[in-house]
Structure 1
Amino acid sequence: MNLKTSWRNQIWPLRVLRLWLGVTWIYAGWDKASDPGFLTSGSPTFIGTQLSAYSTSSPIDFAINRMLEHSTQIGIFVMLMEFAIGAATLLWIAPTWAAMGGFAMSLTLWLASSWHIKPYFLASDSAYTILWLTYFLFLYGSRRNSKVAIDRRGFLRVSTVAAIAVAGAAVGKLFPKTLTETSSASGKSASKKIIEDASFKVGQTHNFVS
């Protein structure tokens, strides 16, 4: 099935789901690629710093702790996979495998980074886990393109996805975010201090901000 036919043969709800997931995953890859601190040790947005924070409240902390010494490699892998899964979803290249990859990544992120968020529906990772699972089950149930053809055409299609992923990461490095953009999220949390009641003197006041 070619690209145009794949879109035409899908019902509208599935087209919307496919478009949203594909674009979102490419944007997620771009967000990491354009972040100059994502692969830079010591940066507030460094993947190693994020993994270290995740391990404090994740049910899979044992796995995350083992990843810390390979943080940079993990970051590169995640960034490339986000580009690849997004591109494969939009271009209908190994769509079932792409959906499975999206589900696995979302589930891992849910367990790693947002498992502690209560109630669970406030965490976007839980929603994306179900969205990818639904999309995967639909594709798997339809029995369309559930296998990757090991031939010249199949090789070229998969190579196209790999090339898009690498190119996306490279272009993202050419258009880095500004310091304000990369530090806005971390800056807000870092500027907040916890003040103990016992540290207040009698009659002392403090201006609290949310």
Structure 2
Amino acid sequence: MHGYRGGSYGLDEPRSLRDRARRYALLPLRIFLGVTFVYAGLDKLTDSAFLSASGTGSIGATLDAVRGSAAIPGLVDLALKSPEGFGYAIAIGELLVGLGTLVGLWSRLAALGGALISLSLWLTVSWQTEPYYYGNDLVYLVAWLPLLGGAAEFSADAFRASRRRRSR
């Protein structure tokens, strides 16, 4: 088979519209999650109220508010030991996950990070949301799962894999 030159760096050329659709099916999800997590991380990092231990809109006030209704209150207690540190960890984690997802660099690791962030937020902050489908953290968790397979199209991972194959 011929190497496909349209962004997949040496993968077999798609033969039909169905093959092309299958190949690019996860690209919109990857772009959406990447942009959303970059935005969420930057939004938190630039919001001085969020990165405070107390006060309206702070991570500390949010954690205090959900302490009694979290699925795993121990996670909230751990975060409450250093609310600012936890806020920075979440924000920087979201930023790195989003960038990794958009670029497709270490995409499986980025997807795992996104899933773990979403899982931790679901088990703490949005656990009490009723009905469950009003909470978005569970949806984000499920959306990350298909990306655990990696980013094949338009990704740094695919480019690096292609270069390794060509050098052999």
Q: TM-score range by the shorter chain?
A: 0.7 to 0.9
1:139 aligns with 2:158: no
Paired position in structure 2 for 1:179? none
Change in 2 beyond 3 A, CA 1:5/1:127 = same
Extract unaligned runs of 5+ from structure 1.
146-210
Please tell me whether the aligned partners of residues 7 and 15 of structure 1 are also in contact (alpha carbons under 8 angstroms): no
Q: Within 5 Å, give how 1:20-59 maps onto structure 2.
A: 20-59=32-71
Q: Verify the 8 A CA contact 2:41 2:95 in the aligned structure 1.
A: yes
After superposition, give the CA deviation of every residue in 1:5-27 in whole Å (9 maximum; x if it has no partner). Answer: 35997833211000000000001
1:89-104 residue pairs with structure 2 within 5 A?
89-104=101-116
TM-score scaled by length of structure 1:
0.60
Distance in 2 (CA, whole Å) between partners of 1:39 and 1:82 is 14
Q: Secondary structure at the match of 1:11?
A: helix
Give the 3-state SS of the residue equivalent to 2:48 in structure 1. Answer: coil
State, as a whole percentage, how many aligned pairs show the same letter.
33
- Equivalences for residues 28-177 of structure 1 within 5 A: 28-136=40-148, 138-139=149-150
1:130 is matched by which residue type in structure 2? V
Q: Secondary structure at the match of 2:129?
A: coil
- Paired with 1:115 and 1:7, the residues of 2 have a C-alpha distance of 42
Q: Which of these residues, 4, 7, 10, is aligned with residue 5 of structure 1?
A: 7
How far the C-alpha of 1:129 sits from its partner, in A, is: 0.6
Per-residue deviation, residues 183-203 of structure 1 (Å, max 9, x unmatched) = xxxxxxxxxxxxxxxxxxxxx
- The match for 2:31 is 19
2:127 is matched by which residue type in structure 1?
W
Deviation at residue 56 of structure 1 after TM alignment: 1.6
Would the aligned equivalents of 1:58 and 1:112 in 2 still touch at CA under 8 Å? yes
Residue by residue, what CA displacement relative to the aligned partner does 1:88-122 show, whole Å, maximum 9, x if unpaired?
Answer: 11111100000000011101111111111122111
Relative to structure 1, the CA distance from residue 8 to residue 60 in structure 2 (aligned partners, 3 Å threshold; closer, same or farther) is farther
CA 1:76/1:127 → structure 2, altered by over 3 Å: closer, same or farther?
Answer: same
C-alpha change, 1:8 and 1:20, in structure 2 (3 Å) is farther
Alpha carbons of 1:125 and 1:61: their partners in 2 closer, same or farther (altered >3 Å)? same
Root mean square deviation, CA, Å: 2.7
User: What are the Cα deviations for residues 105-158 of structure 1, in whole angstroms up to 9, with x where unaligned?
Assistant: 10111111111112211111111010001221x329xxxx5xxxxxxxxxxxxx
The answer to whether the Cα contact below 8 Å between 2:107 and 2:147 also exists between their aligned partners in 1 is no
Instruction: Give CA deviations for 1:34-77 in whole Å, capped at 9, x if unaligned.
Output: 21211223321111111111212011112211321211111111
Task: Return closer, same or farther for 1:111/1:11 CA change in 2, 3 Å cut-off.
Answer: same
Structure 2 residue matching 1:5: 3-state secondary structure: coil
